Amino acid sequence: MSAPPSRALARQVRVAVFAALGLALAAYLVLSTGWRAVLSAAAAVGWGGFSLLCLCTLGLFGLLGAAWYVLWPFPPASGFWALVRARMVRDSAAEVLPFSQFGGIALGVRAAILQGVRPRVAAATMIVDVTTEMLAQIAYTALGVALLAARAPRGSLTAALTRGTLIGLAIATLAAALFIAAQRRGVPRAARFAAPLLKRVGAAGAAAGAMLEAIYRAPGRVALSASLHFGAWIGNGVAGWIGLRLIGAQLDLAAALGIESLLYAMRSAAPFVPNALGVQEAAYALLAPLFGVSVEFALALSLLKRARDVVLGVPVLLLWQSAESRRALAQAISSATR
């Protein structure tokens, strides 16, 4: 069931406004820092370094697919790689298209369904996968706070950032606990909880609620998924460290992990901003100096990440759209021949 035209228009206007404000903020930060210095730092990576960053990201998709795969009570008929491809669609949509993170999640479920996964299973496992990823990010952010306290110079900014992040961690932990409780309180409640996502992918609420219960009856799988997600977060920090080193920044892995963990905490605090436009750049400009990295290097890394997302994401989305078109054509032909 689609949203009323007025509500859909309001949502599109809201997305456009947030995107425009974010783009303006990102442009301001680059220009005020010195766009020549930022671009020069980004260009220092070269094609070989940029290819390495892309390969690191592709490797992380395997880990993210595994974190989703281990949640399944039974092996999916479509196989492990189908989930990896669906996860790539989810992240590509969130990073390239003017969608929030929630829109990317729905498209990830759709991509799994296109590859033969039953809607109720795809939706239910994705909901738990989002939950375990949230738990892993809470742990990753806690690591970032510890590194901030240990490595950043003492001052009002460090104190304010530490205090704000700790408050955010407390809220996120409570939200995660409520999120899990809502999924485990029985089929009717679980079905209502999953309803917004299920409507978008055509899954049956009660059936998906029963699948959620089946998943949580194997807590070891849930814990393993969270562990794999934590490994993926650490891997993401390692990729950021590699990028900064390629640009020319002199920092150790711990400093890079501190920057990246707090960066993604800030991004998560603004899920309504498409592609985290402006949020990512502002977070880098704020955090990098605290860990001894110049702002131009941090903004250069942000530009490289966005270029990487486009280079990897656009082909993924084109292939997904091609699969959607073939399915729609097959359904139209089937209906016409009945």
Nearest to 29 by CA among 267, 300, 310, 306: 300
pTM across the whole model: 0.88
Structure-token pair, residue 186:
């029985």
Alpha carbons within 13 angstroms on the beta-carbon side of residue 272 total 9
Structure-token pair, residue 240:
């950021």
118-132, 186-200, 243-257: least confidently modelled range: 186-200
pLDDT digits (tens, 9 = 90+) for 130-141: 999 999 999 999
- Predicted confidence (pLDDT) at residue 202 exceeds the cutoff of 90: no
Going by pLDDT thresholds of 50, 70 and 90, the confidence category of residue 194 is low
Residue 337 lies in a domain: no
Residue 335 lies in a domain: no
- Predicted confidence (pLDDT) at residue 199 exceeds the cutoff of 80: no
pLDDT digits (tens, 9 = 90+) for 41-63: 989 899 999 999 999 999 999 99
pLDDT score, position 197: 55
pLDDT score, position 323: 81
The C-alpha torsion from 184 through 187 and 192 to 195, rounded to 10°, is: 100
Domain around 93: 5-323
Residue 336 lies in a domain: no
Residue 331 lies in a domain: no
pLDDT digits (tens, 9 = 90+) for 83-133: 999 999 999 988 888 766 677 888 888 888 888 888 888 888 888 999 999
- Predicted confidence (pLDDT) at residue 243 exceeds the cutoff of 90: yes
Residue 55 lies in a domain: yes
Q: Quote the number of domains for the chain.
A: 1
Residue 238 lies in a domain: yes
Higher pLDDT, 50 or 35: 50
Residue 165 lies in a domain: yes
Contact between residue 2 and residue 81 where contact means Cβ atoms under 8 Å apart = no
What is d(CA 203, CA 186) in angstroms, rounded to the nearest whole number? 17
- Predicted confidence (pLDDT) at residue 200 exceeds the cutoff of 60: no
pLDDT digits (tens, 9 = 90+) for 133-166: 999 999 999 999 999 999 999 888 999 999 999 9
- Predicted confidence (pLDDT) at residue 1 exceeds the cutoff of 50: no
The residue to which tokens 């290819």 are assigned: 51
Residue 178 lies in a domain: yes
Mean pLDDT computed over every residue of the chain? 86
pLDDT score, position 303: 93
